[in-house]
Amino acid sequence: MCKSILFGRRILRLPGRIKNTILQSVQNSFGLESVYLFGSRTNDTLLGGDIDIAIETSIDYESFRTKRAHFYSNLLRSGYNLKVDLVQYNSHIDVLFKKEIDSNKIKLEWN
């Protein structure tokens, strides 16, 4: 089980080495973008679960799909075979999905 890290009043259930690997993979694939964790990994009362990541970027969807494939490839090359869902977070996403992300998102930053 991973150690929970307190962010203000929020809990982050993601080990630092995995968080940094995700951030490095995002940087290698997308450049410098804002990266958010959302979903079950932001709730310390839950166990397991995939890692839900939202990237704030204004690139078009086809470019996002290409860069997302590069992101997953970077993770695998780093030795992590993780269940990560990576979504684009911008003004064009579904309103209800955006509200869901906004309700529990935590901005990921380097250690």
Tens of pLDDT along 79-109? 888 899 999 999 889 999 999 999 999 999 9
* Residues 106 and 37: beta-carbon distance below 8 Å: yes
Q: Positive or negative, the Cα torsion across 22, 28, 34, 84?
A: negative
Full-model pTM: 0.84
| CA atoms of 74 and 80, how far apart (whole Å) | 9
What totals of helices (H) and strands (E) does the chain contain, helices first? 3, 6
As a whole number of angstroms, the distance between CA 18 and CA 93 comes to 27
- Residue 18 sits in a domain whose CATH number is 3.30.460.10
One-letter amino acid for residue 54 of the chain: A
Give the count of domains, the chain. Answer: 1
Full residue range of the structural domain in which residue 87 is found = 5-107
